[in-house]
Amino acid sequence: MQVDLGNVLDTASAHGVSRETLERLDGRVADAHDRIEQGREDNEHGYEALNLPSTTDPDAIREAVSRFDDPDAVITVGIGGSALGAATLTDALDSDVDAYYLDNVDPEAVDSLLDSLDLSQTVVNVVSRSGTTAETLANFLVVREAMADAGVDWADRTFVTTGEEGNLRDLAEKHDLPLLPVPDGVPGRFSVLSTVGLAAAAICGHDIEAILDGAAAQEARLSDSLFDSPAYAYGAVSFALAERGMLQNAMMPYAESLETFSEWFAQLWAESLGKDGLGQTPLRALGATDQHSQLQLYRAGPRDKLVTLVRATERDDVDIPETDLDGLAYLGGSSLGELLDAEFEATEASLVAADRPNVRIELERVDEYSLGELLYAMEAACVLYGELANVDTFVQPAVEWGKRAARGLLGGGDFEEADAVADKERLVVE
């Protein structure tokens, strides 16, 4: 995996950063690296996530899921960090086992998924770090009932991934369900390389050891200079650009298989860095499709965006058939992959020509190893950015506020946040 910062330099784009600025920033990167290393050594909350390549036990994950013999499908019931990491992996990689995610409580969507599956051939993985998230527990109760209605022994087809305590652990213990532990010091959005992200991938037959190996390769590259570490290069440059007003970060992979990665990245970046009036708003885009919808804004709208383009340098390709239509002759003999690459490079150039900084991230291939590299590098980039911005990367109090308000409204306790809902101002126009 490599990160190319060429198009963020002020020599490429007048609104970029100078080499001198990056060199000055590198002193702060060294200090931040020391802090991160200390946090990792002491297994501090959050920093512990960067140790997962060596602390996750892939054999234990395989062992836990091995009891489910040859399923057709796996449903992960979870939300946020308890779904997006696993979804990033299973959406990126091919498998004979279909992976689904119940990460919303939209009744129509839940109903339609459950109706479409043979539940006797489906494994259910209920994932909640806290074990208390209302959406996840509600969805699980619905799934459990659907299984019972279909005459399926739900306890036989379900396993639970959760923390030390909480309703979900109680439920797992009551029914003697197989249980994978969520490591204590790892927030959900940093948990893809743990039991949380890897169990669904293991059920789908993916090489979870290779995912961890890729992550370990990026872990080994963390160093006291942004010029020696792809992860820190990305984190430091994103921070430097945010300081210069690039307060949005459009994550734009040129691979459909990485579309969910942008969703995962959005949670990582938003929940970790959006604090104290600071942060960089993640945008989700897909190349080449969104060139034809959003690029106009990225190139000519407010000068407040970093665009991150991601591609794999090797992939399977499809030839474009020759045609005798004059205007289309240039396409014949070429391939869809060549067209995609041309679009990628044209987009970079078009952004630079309009003085819009952008970063190129290249993976060798969309496979287990490269995904491990990418996910670890983005996590480390985020932790570094958090250190440079001096925010508390590993908490999410703003989200907790809304969770308490919703719980109060549903009668799940006395939460003062729920009162604010009743106080809503109205100015209705009909």
The single residue among 21, 121, 130, 281 that binds ligand G6P, judged by CB under 6 A, is 130
User: What are the φ and ψ backbone dihedral angles of 310, each rounded to 5 degrees?
Assistant: -120, 135
- Give the binding range for ligand G6P (CB under 6 A) out of 6-14, 74-82, 93-101, 220-228: 74-82
- Give the integer Cα–Cα distance in Å for 138 and 168: 11
Q: Are 361 and 310 in contact (CB under 8 A)?
A: yes
The single residue among 16, 39, 71, 81 that binds ligand G6P, judged by CB under 6 A, is 81
Element (H, E) at 127: strand 122-128
Q: How far is the CB of 391 from ligand G6P (least distance, A)?
A: 15
Give the per-residue contact string, 82-101, with ligand G6P (x = CB under 6 A; - = no).
x-------------------
The single residue among 71, 73, 90, 129 that binds ligand G6P, judged by CB under 6 A, is 129
List, in order, residues 6 or more apart from 34 with CB less than 8 Å away: 224
Element (H, E) at 283: strand 281-284
User: What are the φ and ψ backbone dihedral angles of 312, each rounded to 5 degrees?
Assistant: -100, 135
Q: How far is the CB of 134 from ligand G6P (least distance, A)?
A: 9
**Can you tell me whether residue 97 is helix, strand or coil?**
coil
Q: Is 235 in the site for ligand G6P (CB under 6 A)?
A: no
- Give the integer Cα–Cα distance in Å for 159 and 124: 6
Residue number, 191 or 347, with CB nearest to ligand G6P: 191
- Give the binding range for ligand G6P (CB under 6 A) out of 59-67, 102-110, 129-137, 378-386: 129-137
Active-site amino acid positions: 271, 292, 403
Q: Is 195 in the site for ligand G6P (CB under 6 A)?
A: no
Q: Which residues on adjacent β-strands are paired with residue 307?
A: 250, 358
Q: Is 136 in the site for ligand G6P (CB under 6 A)?
A: yes
Token pair for residue 332?
């014949």
Q: How far is CA 192 from CA 90, 195, 213, 413, in A?
A: 11, 8, 14, 31
Q: How far is the CB of 364 from ligand G6P (least distance, A)?
A: 29
Q: How far is the CB of 48 from ligand G6P (least distance, A)?
A: 15
Residue with tokens 């390709």: 317
Q: How far is the CB of 366 from ligand G6P (least distance, A)?
A: 24
* Measured torsion, CA atoms of residues 61, 67, 70, 73, in degrees rounded to the nearest 10: -70
- Give the integer Cα–Cα distance in Å for 86 and 196: 7
> At residue 125, what is the residue type?
N
Residue number, 136 or 291, with CB nearest to ligand G6P: 136
Q: How far is the CB of 172 from ligand G6P (least distance, A)?
A: 14
Q: Is 80 in the site for ligand G6P (CB under 6 A)?
A: yes
DSSP for 272-288, written as a single string: HH--TT---EEEE--TT
- Give the binding range for ligand G6P (CB under 6 A) out of 106-114, 130-138, 225-233, 379-387: 130-138
Count CB atoms within 10 A of the CB of residue 354: 13
Q: How far is the CB of 34 from ligand G6P (least distance, A)?
A: 27
Q: Is 128 in the site for ligand G6P (CB under 6 A)?
A: yes
- Give the integer Cα–Cα distance in Å for 26 and 239: 12
Q: Is 271 in the site for ligand G6P (CB under 6 A)?
A: yes
Q: Is 399 in the site for ligand G6P (CB under 6 A)?
A: yes
Residue nearest to ligand G6P (CB): 188
Residue number, 195 or 294, with CB nearest to ligand G6P: 195
Report the interface residues with ligand G6P, using CB under 6 A: 79-82, 128-130, 133, 136, 188-189, 271, 396, 399, 403
